[in-house]
Amino acid sequence: MNLNLSQAAEFFRQNDNFTLLCHANPDGDTLGSGYALCGALHMLGKRAKVLCADKASTRFDYLKEALVPALTDVDESSGKIITVDVADLELLGDLKEQYTDIDLCVDHHVSNKFFAKATLLDTAAAACAELVWDLIKELMGGEVAQVGAEIRTAVYTGVSTDTGCFRFSNTTAKSHAIAAELMDFENMVKRVAQINYIMFEMKTLGRIELEQKAYSGIEYHFDNKCAVIVLTRDMLADIDTADTANVSVLPKQVEGVQVGILLKERDSSEDANKWKISVRTNMNIDAQEICSVLGGGGHVRAAGCKLKGSVEEVKTRVLAEVEKQL
Amino acid sequence: MNLNLSQAAEFFRQNDNFTLLCHANPDGDTLGSGYALCGALHMLGKRAKVLCADKASTRFDYLKEALVPALTDVDESSGKIITVDVADLELLGDLKEQYTDIDLCVDHHVSNKFFAKATLLDTAAAACAELVWDLIKELMGGEVAQVGAEIRTAVYTGVSTDTGCFRFSNTTAKSHAIAAELMDFENMVKRVAQINYIMFEMKTLGRIELEQKAYSGIEYHFDNKCAVIVLTRDMLADIDTADTANVSVLPKQVEGVQVGILLKERDSSEDANKWKISVRTNMNIDAQEICSVLGGGGHVRAAGCKLKGSVEEVKTRVLAEVEKQL
């Protein structure tokens, strides 16, 4: 069942205990959406907590400020299970064993699989956090002045990270209007500057090293319209996981490249020959079409899939799909 | 004399011929401000043109779309001279010989020298283009729906380039509110995506090479709180000038660095031992104080100056001022 904003708000009002599930390998949007919604539910006196299969990067530690710790003690037996920014149950990672019965899915992916009893979906939203902000405003009856800096910061984190700080082509007038609303509050200009510095400006020495490795081995195909970067486990051995965030945008950033492919070898030793493929596209090429054929999904400009095989086998399979789209 | 918005709008209404001067080494803000204002004056049936001492990068070619070519034929003898985004007459470059008598200065720099007969200054504006948008709205009597995509695109270019696409600490709620207003118009989402790709995502092979050179020679001082990158003429010999834009942010992007210094050797052979110094700072350090002591100026987080001497001499002088601020 598809819900609209007012129906979703009613669902939250009529219940008291909520477990909010983020997707595995959490990014700023799933975490920002989860913590913002959790904080707003606490404001309404509800009990709510945020769970994720994988540990979040320490860069996101500040998001927990949105929480009232006493209200994170949730009675799961009578509670409702919500997913945020999760298109498919599979993306819950290890949490999918325990949580198979989802009451409400809050999401913005066109590839959403409608796995929950009810779904609040806005595929026009650049970030799930945009939809969460709409939902928070609905829950507050439009009285957003009472929503504090911590929740605003969590929403901003989701919007800014999913739009590449308002740089990616998914950015809309609404993304900016929400940022303006969020920042029009005491201390938010300074908070936003700190987030932007951590997320988009600061580079660790490890990150600089990773980018130098990535660019030194870049390959071009189809008249330079497609660039491929391969990162093997060896190349990643001395690189911190946090330093690999958004590395998938590097191949597509090269002038003239329309499709950027990152092949990243998965990091546990049982995963030899298993690859995570990230496809990023510029104008007119559908990344999701490339990846859905290969068993993955995502957005028009950013999609992914997982494949098994030697690097050459995997590359050949992906390039065959790219060629069809060019 | 300081003008407010309504007085500045009155000045434009009462005159018919305008020459708009941008600063030398033009960036997106001076050009975006100039072309947006020029386009708006054409809408009012005025004659206006944009001049700059230096050729703009071809990346900015699209800005000229804002113009009605027939109305760029300006009678300078009876016309008014306006500067946009120019803090000091010196920054006009070669144009300063011909234009010494400025009627109106439209600017947002705290270091503004009040060199014009009248000044419209908003130091709270992240970009001069924010002030220009306020001025255009004033000129249109609030009827902004009639302002077309070309002028909106020029204003967006100024705001986005001066805020590093809403990433830098000068970004305010108003910067986002203006972006939302600009984008709420037919075809603007797509135009903005194209600008962001060209300005903030796309990297030429030359740019990638430049960054690899820059990072490979980076030096750290004062317990790694200050990073210095030196780019000599030799290092820049095979690099296109357009590829060096914003290279000044690289040293400050390294984790833990509070002050980033770029020493760039100036490019004509008469300029041997002449250096352009760019200072970029994170929280709590005033870049303008460092540069003003050395004869330069700018903003709190981004300032610059020019010095003569060997690289070691110049570096020592700059680091002595940095040390005072740390």
Question: What pLDDT is stored for residue B238 in this prediction?
Answer: 87
Rounded to a whole number, what is the distance in Å from the CA of B61 to chain A's nearest CA? 17
Bridge partners of residue B219, in order along the sequence: B228
pTM of the model: 0.84
Confidence of residue B282 (pLDDT cuts 50, 70, 90): confident
User: Do A165 and B169 lie within an 8 Å CB cutoff?
Assistant: no
Which B residues, 283 through 312, put their C-beta within 8 Å of a C-beta on chain A? Answer: 283
pLDDT tens per residue, range A183-194: 999 999 999 999
pLDDT tens per residue, range B181-239: 999 999 999 999 999 988 888 888 888 889 888 988 899 999 999 999 999 988 988 88
Question: Comparing B76 with B128, which gets the higher pLDDT?
Answer: B128
The Cα-based distances of A29 to A33, A157, A185, A234 in angstroms read 6, 7, 21, 29
User: Do B255 and A179 lie within an 8 Å CB cutoff?
Assistant: no
Question: What pLDDT is stored for residue B48 in this prediction?
Answer: 98
B99 touching chain A per CB within 8 A: no
* Partners of residue B282 in chain A, C-beta under 8 Å: 197
ipTM of the complex: 0.83
Contact A287, A279 (CB under 8 A): yes
User: Do A173 and B184 lie within an 8 Å CB cutoff?
Assistant: yes
Rounded to a whole number, what is the distance in Å from the CA of B206 to chain A's nearest CA? 10
Query: Quick one: tokens of A102?
Result: 């989802």
Mean pLDDT of A34-44: 98
% of residues, chain A, pLDDT over 90: 79
Least Cα distance to A158 among A63, A245, A89 occurs for A63
Rounded to a whole number, what is the distance in Å from the CA of B112 to chain A's nearest CA? 24
Q: Is beta strand B302-308 parallel, antiparallel or unpaired with respect to B274-281?
A: antiparallel
What is the 8-class DSSP label of residue A92?
A: G
User: Do A201 and B173 lie within an 8 Å CB cutoff?
Assistant: no
User: Do B205 and A255 lie within an 8 Å CB cutoff?
Assistant: yes
A252 touching chain B per CB within 8 A: yes
pLDDT tens per residue, range A288-317: 999 999 999 988 889 999 999 999 999 999
Least Cα distance to A265 among A215, A307, A304 occurs for A307
Q: Is beta strand B226-231 parallel, antiparallel or unpaired with respect to A118-121?
A: unpaired
Rounded to a whole number, what is the distance in Å from the CA of B257 to chain A's nearest CA? 9
pLDDT tens per residue, range A203-245: 888 888 898 889 888 999 999 999 999 999 889 888 887 788 7
Nearest Cβ partner for A255 among B167, B202, B211: B202
User: Do B196 and A282 lie within an 8 Å CB cutoff?
Assistant: no
Question: What pLDDT is stored for residue B271 in this prediction?
Answer: 65
User: Do B173 and A167 lie within an 8 Å CB cutoff?
Assistant: no
% of residues, chain B, pLDDT over 90: 78
Question: What pLDDT is stored for residue B266 in this prediction?
Answer: 86
Mean pLDDT of B267-289: 84
Question: What pLDDT is stored for residue B12 in this prediction?
Answer: 98
Confidence of residue B123 (pLDDT cuts 50, 70, 90): very high
Q: Is the pLDDT of residue A267 over 70?
A: no
Nearest Cβ partner for B167 among A168, A201, A211: A201
* Partners of residue A253 in chain B, C-beta under 8 Å: 201-203
Alpha-helical runs (H) found in chain B? 5-13, 28-43, 95-98, 128-139, 149-162, 173-183, 188-196, 205-216, 233-236, 287-293, 311-325
Query: Quick one: tokens of B76?
Result: 């300078």
Question: What pLDDT is stored for residue A269 in this prediction?
Answer: 67
What is the 8-class DSSP label of residue B23?
A: P
State chain B's mean pLDDT as an integer: 93
Nearest Cβ partner for B167 among A165, A172, A183: A165
User: Do A283 and B255 lie within an 8 Å CB cutoff?
Assistant: no
Query: Quick one: tokens of A121?
Result: 């979906």
B177 touching chain A per CB within 8 A: yes
Question: What pLDDT is stored for residue B74 in this prediction?
Answer: 95
% of residues, chain B, pLDDT over 70: 98
User: Do B189 and A176 lie within an 8 Å CB cutoff?
Assistant: no
Residues 6+ apart with CB under 8 A from A86: A21, A22, A23, A30, A92, A105, A107
CB pairs under 8 A between A and B: 118
Is the Cα torsion angle B135, B139, B143, B147 positive or negative in sign?
A: negative
Round to whole Å and give the CA distance between B319 and B296.
Answer: 15
What is the 8-class DSSP label of residue B251?
A: G
Query: Quick one: tokens of A63?
Result: 């998001």
User: Do B282 and A197 lie within an 8 Å CB cutoff?
Assistant: yes
Question: What pLDDT is stored for residue A188 in this prediction?
Answer: 97
User: Do A173 and B196 lie within an 8 Å CB cutoff?
Assistant: no
Question: What pLDDT is stored for residue B57 in this prediction?
Answer: 87
Mean pLDDT of B12-34: 97
Query: Quick one: tokens of B218?
Result: 């980076």
User: Do A172 and B183 lie within an 8 Å CB cutoff?
Assistant: yes
Q: Is the pLDDT of residue A79 over 90?
A: yes
Confidence of residue A17 (pLDDT cuts 50, 70, 90): very high
Query: Quick one: tokens of A323?
Result: 């060629």
Mean pLDDT of B291-315: 93
Contact A90, A62 (CB under 8 A): no
Confidence of residue B96 (pLDDT cuts 50, 70, 90): very high
Mean pLDDT of A34-49: 98
pLDDT tens per residue, range B143-153: 899 999 999 99
> Angle between the A205-216 and B205-216 helix axes, to the nearest 10 degrees?
140
* Partners of residue A283 in chain B, C-beta under 8 Å: 193-194, 197
Confidence of residue A271 (pLDDT cuts 50, 70, 90): low
* Partners of residue B203 in chain A, C-beta under 8 Å: 253-255
Round to whole Å and give the CA distance between A117 and B107.
Answer: 56
Give residue B194's Cα distance to chain centre.
Answer: 20
User: Do A252 and B201 lie within an 8 Å CB cutoff?
Assistant: yes
Query: Quick one: tokens of A222?
Result: 């189809």
